[in-house]
Amino acid sequence: MAATRNNSSNPARIPALGFRALALIVLAIALMVLDHRDKHLDSVRDTIGIALYPLQLVVDGPARFRDWAGERLRSRFSLQEENEQLRREQQVVRARLLTSNALQAENARLREMLDARVKVKDEVRVAEIMAVDANPFRHSLVLDVGKGDGAYEGQAIVDQVGVVGQVIEVGLMTSEALLISDPGHALPVEVNRNGLRTIAYGTGEFGRLELPGLANNADIREGDLLVTSGLGGAFPAGYPVAIVSSVNRLPQQAFADVSAKPVAALDQVREIMLVWSAPGESADAESTPAAAAESEHE
Amino acid sequence: MSRDRASRHLPVVVTILIALALMMVPLPRGVDVFRPDWVAVLMIFWAFSLPRSYSVGVAFLLGIVIDVAQGTLLGQHALALVAVVYLTVKFHLLMRVFPLLQLMATVFALLALYQFLLFWVNGISNVSAPSVTYWGPVVSGTLLWPILFSFLNGLRYRVQSRV
């Protein structure tokens, strides 16, 4: 009965609904397979990403305004105080820099003697974190830098005190970064005290990393500083990552239960720095830092 | 004619844009696990009230947009949203005679399916997700429904009166 009526006069019938739904579901699955296998769909992402950019700016607006207003509305007293503090800090840093320069020169000289590869000085650029929640199930950030700024996938991100994470997706104007605390993140580190190498895994908590690969008799203590080892290629070596917070050795198990606290305040940062491990790296995202350093050396 | 069409779609487009923005607004830790799936709830509403105009096609496109915004696998949210909207459109006449509580139970089931499909794809593509808090959006989305429903119904009649 309903079929004999004109479609538009009958709100109950949606033509070919089941077929359309099925076709779209198949299309969605095909897209997922394509996207998962390789990165053929980057241009699609870029295009939609540009369309989303204004929306991200709108969402980010209030936070930006709050920062701006906070700067404008500070009292003279607190500014003076901050000024004073910064001046003191600068003196300390400058003093440290003096020795650092000397040490760097000495280091280069010693390495030359050993005929080791000279460590290329890292290039650093400040980027701002947009107040945009990207993925609710990952520890990720949206940054206000994109392809145009030379950001690339796998690029290391640090703040003033330590490693924050790495870039996992680069759009034209924004990019997404994964924090080291994400459960899917693994970072090759070494103990600063003795060079013991291991891998730090994220746990999904901001304040804790796990080091599951350490044998029960490994030389590691509470308070040890972990720095990036530079193995694995993505991260330049020598950046502080975390401080070992607990070491549990269970006699019946082969591996010690070690956790560490990241030195960077992962849930509080607003400004972070992108690190280009070697000059020219940004131009060629495919080359590993080691390869780039190699060509630099020649 | 075309201007008429544009003004007819305007409320829907605006609400969808607002939902997308609300999806991205940063929330304090602890609260954000209860962030409702704004876009999913909204799409259920529009598919429920205007199934001829807003059906699986719109759901698919919107799903792709969410995938880009959240950096998930392209097609993941599209798949979940198409499935949920399909069921909503399929049963929208039945749902219209439901009393509020029963309607909320239906919305709960739809949102649970949405979240489950996302969870399932995450599992296949090896993205780990937190355990219990994962289902927070289902609860908050359901609780949101009566408020959103009464608010959007006003809009909906404005939309329909111009058809």
The enclosing H or E element of A243 equals strand A240-248
Residue B128 has pLDDT above 80, yes or no: no
**Is pLDDT at A228 greater than 80 in this prediction?**
yes
Across residues A199-211, what is the average pLDDT?
A: 86
pLDDT for A12: 55
How many residues would you count in chain A? 298
pLDDT digits (tens, 9 = 90+) for A121-137: 667 788 888 777 666 66
Residue A8 pLDDT exceeds 80: no
Question: Contact B29/A24, CB-based, under 8 Å?
Answer: no
A49-60 residue pLDDT tens: 888 888 888 888
Q: How far apart are CA A257 and CA A213, in angstroms?
A: 9
List of chain B residues whose C-beta atoms are within 8 Å of the C-beta of residue A176: 71
Nearest CA in chain B to A205: B130
Which residue bears the tokens 């006699």?
A251
pLDDT at A252 over 90: no
Q: Taking the model in full, what pTM does it have?
A: 0.70
Q: Does domain B2-161 have CATH number 1.20.1250?
A: no
Are residues A44 and B35, on separate chains, in Cβ contact within 8 Å? no
More confident call, A258 vs A213: A258
Picking from B17, B25, B64, the nearest residue to A133 by CB comes out as B25
Question: Residues of chain B with pLDDT > 90: what percent?
Answer: 23
Superfamily of domain A123-298: Rod shape-determining protein MreC, domain 1 (2.40.10.340)
A107-116, B2-11, B33-42: range with highest mean pLDDT: B33-42
The count of C-alpha atoms lying within 13 angstroms of the C-alpha of A53, restricted to the half-sphere facing its C-beta, is: 16
The residue ranges of every structural domain in chain B are 2-161
Is B26 close to A35, i.e. CB distance below 8 A?
A: no
Residue A117: the pLDDT is 55
Q: What is the ipTM of this complex?
A: 0.81
Average pLDDT of chain B to the nearest whole number: 84
Angstroms from A259 CA to nearest CA on chain B: 19
CA angle A167, A55, A59 (to 5 degrees): 80
Q: Smallest CA–CA separation between B22 and chain A, in Å?
A: 8
Locate B128 and state its tokens.
């780990």
β-partners of residue A130 are A142
> Over the stretch A231-241, which tens digit does the pLDDT of each residue have?
877 788 888 88
**A3 pLDDT band (50/70/90 cuts)?**
very low
The token pair at A214 is: 């350490």
